[in-house]
Each structure stands twice: as structure tokens, then as C-alpha cells.
Structure 1
Amino acid sequence: MIYKVSVIVPVYNVEPYLRKCLDSLINQTCKEIEIIIINDGSTDNSQLIIDEYALKYDNIKTIVQNNKGLSEARNTGIKHSSGEFLAFVDSDDWIEKDMLHEMINLAKIHSADIVLCSLQNINDQGKIIKKLPELHQLPERIDLTQDFTIFGEMSCFACNKIFKRELFNDISFPKNMHFEDVATIPRLFLKARTIAKSNKYFYQYLVRTGSITRNYTIKGINMFDAIDMVKRDFIKSVYVKNLQDWHKFIIFQGFYCFLAYYAYVKNSTSRNQMFAKLRKIITSEHITKKQIFTYNRFKKNYLCSLSLKKIVFYVLQLIKL
């Protein structure tokens, strides 16, 4: 069979959640999909579940490797994929049954290189705790050569998009890097010409209650390594003259998203090093405090859209710059 989509699913110790994820893929209304499951060194019973599904469904391909991290698991999946488009689903999340059918249909209608949808955070009880609309203010078809604003406003999630596989011909997820999506997704957009989108909340992102799954350390400084990777591609792209959108990209990812991580770092030495790096990039890119303060996302001032506590935090950091 010629597959329309290869769905890449990295797995690492997600035994309690894996069945729901795989069921959501098996039950897609689009049947021309292959599911590539990469067991990235799990030590629980995840492989038993993978084997059970692989025996039952012919369109599942399984790979077992030593633990190498999310990026390398995704890269392994890309190498073993054959679909016209690639999709990435985290193994503790799930997707709505019409997601791939609708997104492939949008890709066909608009000859799109990338198609995206909205997503929402779900807790363990299945309750929606936060909706994450993705570019609802833009039309269904976006010609990036005519409107490049998406570059400075989008969230760099890999999971709520499908990508033409050719976009990955010379791009892979960087190994052992925090913010691997920030280093990768914008570079794929720089190679694209046409984007399509659905405003439906097809992707369900599980927020595990009562657990801390992230360790906030000096590795957060990788944000600036990611931005450097994107810049190398940006200056070689057809969009190089879109300097305002480049500045917006740095403001959103390098200031707001970076500081959202930095806020949880406890080590004072690490915090000093990280903030010095932030100050350096803002200065070297000639971004002013006014640009940061007046940054608009989705046609609204981003800072003013936040809670009072977050506004105070960001303003204090802005004063320190």
C-alpha cells in the first residue's frame, strides 16, 4: 500500500497511556496511514503492548533501540517512514478520529506543504484544562510568500502538524537538545510555501496531574542554540527580508518562551548565565524593549493577554535587560 501519512510515535515508559494513544491512531477515518512505533529503551511493559498491536494490525511498524531521547527516536522513525506526509504523536497523547483525514484533505485542496490544527491540554480525568488555538485569525490557506506573520507568532509544536516528507530531506531533530521543536519546526516552515490549517482541536495533549515531568536546569540555554540553528536557515531562505517577523520570532521564543522556562530554574549560577545569554541575543539582534513590550500575537498585545502575575514577572525581566 502507498501510505498518505506516516505517524511516528516515540515510546518511553508510557505503559498506562499507550493503549489510548494507539487506539486513536488505529481508529482514524483515514486508513492509508502507517504507524511507526519507536521503543526508545523503555523499562516498563510498553513493549508488550506494542507487540500486541503490531501482531493485530498490518500497518504498524515497530523499532526497538537503546534510549537516545525524543529527537533520535523521531529521526529513526523518519528514516523508516514511507508516507507522503509525516506526523508526530507523543505516546501519552491521542488524536481525534478525523484528524488525519481532514488534514490530508486540506493538504490536497490547497497543495500545502504543512497542515496544522489546534490542540488542547487534557488532564487524567479527560477534562479540558486549556485550549491552545493555533492561528485562528488567519485564513484556511496561507501563502507564506504573501503573508509571513505566522513565523513570528506560531507555537513550535511538532505534534499538531503534518509535513511533506521532502521537507526533512536535509533537516533532522537535533540530538540531546532542549527545545528540539524550536530548532526544527521553524526551519521546515522556511522551506515551505503554502500552509493550510484547521481550527478544530484535533490534538489532545495529556497533562499528567500530580507529577513533575521536567527538570528545569541550565539546559534551558539550548533555546539560543535552537534560535542560532533557525537563523542559519533564515538568512539563506527566500524570507530573509522579513526582518520584522524574524524579530517577532526571537521575541516570542527567545524572550517569552525562554523566560517561562527560566522562571523555574533554581540554581542562581545557571540563572545568571541564562539571563546573560538572553541579554546578548536581544542586543545583537538590535531588538528594543519597546518591541518586546508591544509584541502582538494573533492581533493582540501578547503581554497584556497574560495573567497579572506573569505580566509582573515579564516586566521585571524586561527592566533588567
Structure 2
Amino acid sequence: MAYKVSIIVPVYNVEKYLSKCIDSLINQTLQEIEIVLINDGSTDGSQIIIDSYTKKNTNIVSICKTNGGLSEARNLGIKKATGEYIAFVDSDDWVEKEMMSDLYFLGKKHNADIVFCNLQNVDEKGEIFKLLPQLPQLSEKIILEEDFTVFGEMSCFACNKIFKRELFNYIEFPSGLHFEDIATIPRLFLKSKVIAKSNKYLYNYFVRKGSITRNYTSKGLDMFKAIGLVKEDFSISIYKNNTEDWEKFVILQGFYSFLAYYAYVKDSLVKKNMIIHLKNLLKEENISKSDIIYLKRYNKFYLFSLSYLKIVFYTLNIIRL
């Protein structure tokens, strides 16, 4: 069978959630899909669950490897995938049954290189507690040479998109780097000509209770390496003159997303070093405090669209720059 979409699912110690994820994939309304499950060295019962599905579903590919991290697992999945488009789903998330069909046929309708949809945060009970709309102000078809807004304003999720497989020629997720999506997804956009979008909420992003207590370390500095990788590709792309959109990208990721991580770092010396790197980035990119304050996203001033506590947090950090 010629597969329309290959769905790559890295798996690491998620036996409690894995079945719900796989069930949402095998029940897709789009029949011609390939599901590539990469067991990245799980030490729980994840492989037993995977084996139970591969016995019953001929379109599931099971690959076991030693633990190497998310990027390494995804890159292996890309090499094994045979579909026209590639999708990524996290193994503790699940998707709506029409997701792959909707995105695939939007891609065919507009000959789009990338197609994306909205996401929603869900809790342990499967209840939605936050909607994550993606570029609602843009049309269904986006020709990047006519409107490059998407580059500066997008959220760099890999999981709510499908990508033409050939976009990954010469591009991999950087192994061992935190913020691997930020280092990779914008580079795929830079190789694209046409993007399509659905305003449906088709991806369920599971937020585990207590997950905010995970370890936040100096790995946050990888944000600047990620931005550096994207800059290399941006500087030689056909979109290199879209400097305003580049500035938006740097502010959104290098300031706002970076500080969202920084907020949970406990080590005071690490925090001090992170602020030094942030100041250096803003100086190198010639970004002023007013540029940060008046950044517009989705036709709104981004800072003032946030909650009161976030406005206070970001404003205090703008003052100290």
C-alpha cells in the first residue's frame, strides 16, 4: 500500500498512556496511514503494548533501539517512513479521528508543503482546559512569498503538523539539544513555498499533573543554539529579506519562550548566566525593549494579551535588561 501519511511516535516509558495514543491513530478516518512506533529504550511495559498492536495491524512498524532521546528517535522514524507526508505524535497525547484526513486533503488541495491545525491542552481525565489556536488571522492557504507572517508568529510544535517527506532531506532534529522543535520546525518552513491550515482543534496535548516540577537546568541555554541553527538557514533562504518576521521569531522564542523556561530554574548562578546570554542575543540582533513590549502576534500586542501575572513577570525582566 502507498501510504499518504507516516505517523512517527517515539515511545519512552509511557505504558500508562500508550494505548490511548495508538488507538487514536489506528482509528483515523484516513485509511492509508503508516504508524512508526520507535521504542527508545523503554524499561517499562511499553514494548508489550506495542507488540499487541503490531500483531493485529499490518500498517504498524515497530522499532526498538537503545535510549538516545527524542530527536534521535524521530530521525530514525523519518528514515524508515515511506508516506507522502510525515506527522509526529507524542506517545502520551492523542488525536481526533479526522486529523490526518483533514490535514492530508488540505495539503493536496493547496499543494502545501506543511499543513497544521489547532491544539488543546487536556488533563488526566481527558478534559480540555486550554485552547491553543494557531495563527487564526491567516487564511486556509498561505503563500509564504506573499505573507511570511507565519514564520515569526507560529508556535514551533512538531506534533500538530504534517510535512512533505522531502522537506527532511538534509534536515534532522538535533540530537541532544533541548528545544529541538524550535531548532527544526522553522527550518522546514524556510524550505517551503505553500502552507495550509485548519482551524479545527485536532490535537490533544496531554499535560500530566505535577509535570511542572520536572528538572529545569542550564539546558535552557540550548535555546540560543536552536536560534543559531535557524539563523544559518534563514540567512541563505529566499526569505532572508523578511527581517521583521525574523525579529518577531527571535523575540517570541529567544525572549518569551526562553523566559518561560527560565522561570522554573532553581539555581541562582545558572539563572544569572541565562540572563547574560539573553542580553547578548538581544544586543546581537539589535532588539530593543520597546520591540519586545510592542511585539504583535495574531494582530494583538502579545505581552498585553497574557495573564496579569505573566505581564508582571515579563515586564520585570524587560526592566532588568
TM-score when normalising by structure 1: 0.99
Q: Distance in 2 between matches of 1:312 and 1:102?
A: 40
Aligned partner of 1:71: which letter? S
1:135-166 Cα deviation digits (max 9, x unpaired): 11100000000000111100000000000011
**Structure 1 position 49 matched with structure 2 position 49:** yes
Q: CA deviation at 1:213?
A: 6.2
What's the counterpart of residue 109 of structure 1? 109
For the aligned residues, what is the CA RMSD?
Answer: 0.7
Q: Distance in 1 between matches of 2:296 and 2:256?
A: 12
Q: Is the alpha carbon distance of 1:65 and 1:287 closer, same or farther for their aligned partners in structure 2, counting shifts above 3 Å?
A: same
What's the counterpart of residue 168 of structure 1? 168
Q: Distance in 1 between matches of 2:31 and 2:180?
A: 30
What's the counterpart of residue 190 of structure 1? 190
Q: Distance in 2 between matches of 1:87 and 1:216?
A: 28
1:276-304 Cα deviation digits (max 9, x unpaired): 00000100111111111000100000000
- 1:110-149 equivalences in 2 (<5 Å): 110-149=110-149
Q: Distance in 2 between matches of 1:102 and 1:239?
A: 28
Partner SS, residue 129 of structure 2: strand
**Structure 1 position 279 matched with structure 2 position 279:** yes
Q: Distance in 1 between matches of 2:270 and 2:79?
A: 36
What's the counterpart of residue 23 of structure 1? 23
Q: CA deviation at 1:212?
A: 4.5
Q: Distance in 1 between matches of 2:127 and 2:190?
A: 36
**Structure 1 position 151 matched with structure 2 position 148:** no
Q: CA deviation at 1:56?
A: 0.5
**Structure 1 position 229 matched with structure 2 position 229:** yes
1:230-286 Cα deviation digits (max 9, x unpaired): 000000000000000000000000000000000110101111111100000100111
Q: Distance in 1 between matches of 2:209 and 2:292?
A: 33
Partner SS, residue 201 of structure 2: strand
Q: Distance in 1 between matches of 2:311 and 2:5?
A: 41
1:74-100 Cα deviation digits (max 9, x unpaired): 001001010010000000000000000
What's the counterpart of residue 241 of structure 1? 241
Partner SS, residue 104 of structure 1: helix
Structure 2: runs of 5+ lacking an equivalent: none
- 1:174-213 equivalences in 2 (<5 Å): 174-212=174-212
Fraction of identical pairs, as percent: 63
Q: CA deviation at 1:214?
A: 2.7
Q: Distance in 1 between matches of 2:319 and 2:149?
A: 27
Q: Distance in 2 between matches of 1:311 and 1:136?
A: 22
Q: Stretches of 4+ moved more than 4 A in 1? A: none
Q: Distance in 2 between matches of 1:183 and 1:29?
A: 32
Q: Distance in 1 between matches of 2:90 and 2:107?
A: 22
Q: How many residues align?
A: 321
Partner SS, residue 195 of structure 1: strand
What's the counterpart of residue 61 of structure 2? 61
What's the counterpart of residue 307 of structure 1? 307
Q: CA deviation at 1:210?
A: 3.4
Partner SS, residue 37 of structure 2: strand
1:163-212 Cα deviation digits (max 9, x unpaired): 00110001000011110000000000000010000000000011111344
What's the counterpart of residue 33 of structure 1? 33
Q: Distance in 1 between matches of 2:93 and 2:22?
A: 9
Q: CA deviation at 1:215?
A: 1.2
Aligned partner of 2:111: which letter? S
Aligned partner of 1:18: which letter? L
Aligned partner of 2:195: which letter? I
What's the counterpart of residue 251 of structure 1? 251
1:24-63 Cα deviation digits (max 9, x unpaired): 0000000101000000000000000000000100000010
Q: Distance in 2 between matches of 1:55 and 1:214?
A: 35
What's the counterpart of residue 2 of structure 1? 2
Structure 1: runs of 5+ lacking an equivalent: none
Q: Distance in 2 between matches of 1:128 and 1:20?
A: 16
Partner SS, residue 147 of structure 2: coil
